[in-house]
Chains A and B, each alone.
Chain A
Amino acid sequence: MQAKSLRLLGAMSLCVGLVACNSDNSTYRIGVSVTGLLSGQSVTFLDNGADSLVVAGGTSQAYFERRIGQGGAYAVTVGTQPGNESCVVTAGSGSNVHSETVVSVTCAPTVYTISGTVTGLATGQSITVKNNDADGQLVTAGGSGTDAFSFSVGVPYQQTYAVTYTTTTFVQCDVTNGSGTATANVTNVTLACHATFAAGVQGI
Chain B
Amino acid sequence: MNFNKLVSALLLSGLGLLGCSAAIAGQLPVAQAADACLGAGTLIDPITGNAPQVQDAVGTDCVTQPEVQLVTFYKIAVCTSQPTAPTVSTAVDLSSCSTYMSDAAGTTISVQLGATAPFSPSTVTAPPNNTYTWAYIELKPELSVQKTAYFDVAMYDTQPSANLGHWCWSQAAPLGTVYYNYSTENHFTSAATQCGLTPGVAAPTTRVINSFNGNVGISAAIISGTASHPINVYLVDQNGYNPAGASLVADAMGPVAKLIGILPINITVDGSTTGINVVYNNSHGATVNRAWVYPNTPSGLPAVMFFAPTAFDLNLVTTPIEPK
Chain B residues engaging chain A, CB cutoff 8 angstroms: 24, 28, 31, 69, 71, 73, 76, 100-101, 109, 111-122, 124-126, 273-283, 317, 319
Determine the main DSSP class of A at the interface with B: loop
Size class of the A contact interface (CB-based, 8 Å): 10 to 19
Determine the main DSSP class of B at the interface with A: strand
Q: Are A122 and B122 in contact (CB under 8 A)?
A: yes
Enumerate chain A residues within 8 angstroms of B109, measured Cβ to Cβ.
200-201
Check if A204 is an interface residue, CB within 8 A of chain B.
yes
Q: Interface code A109-144, partner B: CB below 8 Å = 1, 0 otherwise?
A: 000000000000011110000000000000000000
CB distance from A174 to the nearest CB of B (A): 15
Enumerate chain B residues within 8 angstroms of A3, measured Cβ to Cβ.
none
Segment with Cβ contacts to B, from A25-33, A91-99, A190-198? A190-198
Check if A202 is an interface residue, CB within 8 A of chain B.
yes
- Which residues between 56 and 92 of chain A lie within 8 Å of chain B, taking CB atoms? none
Q: Are A204 and B124 in contact (CB under 8 A)?
A: no
CB distance from B3 to the nearest CB of A (A): 27
Enumerate chain A residues within 8 angstroms of B118, measured Cβ to Cβ.
198-200
CB distance from B28 to the nearest CB of A (A): 7
Inter-chain residue pair count (beta carbon < 8 A): 87
| Nearest 9 Cβ contacts at the A-B interface | A203-B282, A122-B121, A197-B126, A200-B118, A170-B126, A198-B275, A122-B122, A202-B116, A201-B109
Enumerate chain A residues within 8 angstroms of B317, measured Cβ to Cβ.
202
**Bound: A196/B126 CA distance, A:** 9
Check if A187 is an interface residue, CB within 8 A of chain B.
no
Which one, A122, A125, A198, contacts B274 given CB within 8 A?
A: A198
Q: Are A124 and B122 in contact (CB under 8 A)?
A: yes
Chain A residues engaging chain B, CB cutoff 8 angstroms: 122-125, 169-170, 195-204
Enumerate chain A residues within 8 angstroms of B279, measured Cβ to Cβ.
201-202, 204
Q: Are A198 and B121 in contact (CB under 8 A)?
A: yes
Enumerate chain B residues within 8 angstroms of A203, measured Cβ to Cβ.
69, 111-117, 280-282
Which one, B31, B73, B122, contacts A204 given CB within 8 A?
A: B31
Q: Which of B69, B73, B280 has the most CB of A within 10 A?
A: B280
Enumerate chain B residues within 8 angstroms of A199, measured Cβ to Cβ.
76, 100-101, 118-119, 124, 275-278
Enumerate chain B residues within 8 angstroms of A196, measured Cβ to Cβ.
274
Enumerate chain A residues within 8 angstroms of B101, measured Cβ to Cβ.
199
CB distance from B146 to the nearest CB of A (A): 14
* Beta-carbon nearest neighbor of B281 in chain A: A204
Q: Are B125 and A169 in contact (CB under 8 A)?
A: yes
Enumerate chain B residues within 8 angstroms of A122, measured Cβ to Cβ.
120-122, 124
